[in-house]
A and B are shown apart, each in its own frame.
Chain A
């Protein structure tokens, strides 16, 4: 569940960015798009509780983020947000399983090997647990990164440009994987992208799926680029 009203953010020395209001129920897919510099990253940072809005109200998974800061925000983010970064950022120093363990460490939880195996298994990469990220193919690495994102059963998954630098088949496979994983978790999925293939891939999913909410950020509306 994500709700926002009159949301804006102001970079130091810059003009404020204004974001359109949203109101999506839990489990919904949101496609966040817009031209470069429209504030996609900023919106993600706001939704993850990493930065405080200049004005307006933002509620994510039942938590009003304006009242959350510092350590409380970190703890909330660990519990609530799963994040799939564009460049995946699997640590080369660690094995696949250890990379997942890092998420538990970051959240201040004890290492739970059974849960790690389960998360890898759900994405069909359990066999790669002892490999280093350098030994994985692009697709495998993305599955591992997704397994890390959903390891702590988040209510919201934020995916940043999941289809960038992928060919058409791989892009639609990546989107399907995201949709499928989010549905299994009952998580709200936010895909930040400027890639039109994402929307097309969601539209192409079998009938009966509820579609997505498009959140278009335009540079004109925001006033200034960061």
Chain B
């Protein structure tokens, strides 16, 4: 223990060099911490949003688009499918639950999702205020949406057609807020959820207005459409046959979120690989810098080290003194690096929250973060190997003759 205290003093006897090395190492470690946290948070966000959704059924087209739109609400819907076809899925013995979603309208950038109560239950959301809708045109706000929109219970607003805002305003049919959800950390936080019937009402009223005559509702019933449906299987084995069955026997397609997300992540993978390589180069540079600093320290202090040998210190003790210095560098840098990485992640999370996109942020300490101090110690100790060997071999005869 005393050896560690001594190496600490020796390390900071050259404050500028030590600080520079700590800075270099910390930068590399902060990048790695940031990457670890980012991928952990993305995985967590994906997992939470995907939980309990085994397949998404919707119009034929890009399966990835179907997932991005139907699960994460970050892409436009591929088109509509008949309600009857979706309802028919319930009859499939492999299917445990079907939650239809109607998309297409928004309010100030927040998507209005027409669905059933099952959708709110699916994400295990609880109410901060109010409760579920009991009639069409009543809505429940996700926590982030409510906060951003500043809407209260009983507040009303008019949705606009399209997801970007600035579309046709459905002026005749205002929505009323009847419930506000607690934050869940899932996609529902940034959604406005209402009954499926609301979407039909908004759009049929509009058509009725244009057509100037009121067809009987039975005809509407037949033509009614939804955008897609979230499906939960009864058995994991359904994954083998259900998508094929949907793709061949219906006008719809079934997409597997797990499959599409792994495809998406492998596409993003190239980007994170580049970042990882960059962090690696930073660490390597830091390692080299530590190596040079320690080597210089040994050369400068050759005589001091030789004197310690003369005073009776075994060579191993001299080597331990130097390794101690390297270890201190690694540990101090690991602390600063992790703190820096966390701060950067919080910053990114705050920026993403501003743009209502993926939910990242919060203070997480995944186990993988232990890699950072481990890596710091490995890099600094590896950099210390050659200087330590040199210190180990320091010859006292040289001290006696060096005059």
Contact = CB atoms under 8 A, between A and B. Distances in A.
Interface residues of A, number: 37
B235 interface: no
A105 B313 contact: yes
Contacts of A85: 307, 310, 399-400
A89 B396 CA distance: 13
A41 interface: yes
A161 B310 CA distance: 16
Contacts of A81: 310, 312
Contact of B13 (A74, A87, A92): A92
A72 to B, nearest CB: 10
B47 interface: no
B95 to A, nearest CB: 73
B6 A106 contact: no
Given A92-B13, A93-B13, A106 B313 contact: yes
Contacts of A160: 400
Contacts of A201: none
A71 B314 CA distance: 6
B401 interface: yes
Interface stretch (A43-51, A59-67, A136-144): A43-51
A91 B14 CA distance: 13
Given A50-B396, A91-B304, A41 B313 contact: no
Interface in B289-341: 301, 303-304, 307-314, 317
Contact of B401 (A41, A106, A148, A164): A41
A144 B175 CA distance: 87
Contact of B2 (A51, A103, A111, A148): A111
Interface in B1-58: 2-3, 6, 9-10, 13
Contact of A44 (B303, B304, B400): B400
Contacts of A226: 401
Interface of A: 41-42, 44-45, 48, 50-51, 70-71, 74-75, 77-79, 81, 83, 85-87, 89, 91-94, 98, 102-103, 105-108, 111, 148, 160-161, 164, 226
Q: Which A-B residue pairs are the 4 nearest by beta carbons?
A: A78-B312, A93-B13, A106-B313, A41-B400
Given A87-B303, A91-B301, 18 more contacts: A41-B397, A41-B401, A50-B310, A50-B396, A71-B314, A75-B314, A78-B311, A78-B312, A85-B307, A85-B399, A89-B307, A93-B9, A93-B10, A102-B311, A103-B312, A106-B311, A106-B313, A108-B312
Interface of B: 2-3, 6, 9-10, 13, 301, 303-304, 307-314, 317, 396-397, 399-403
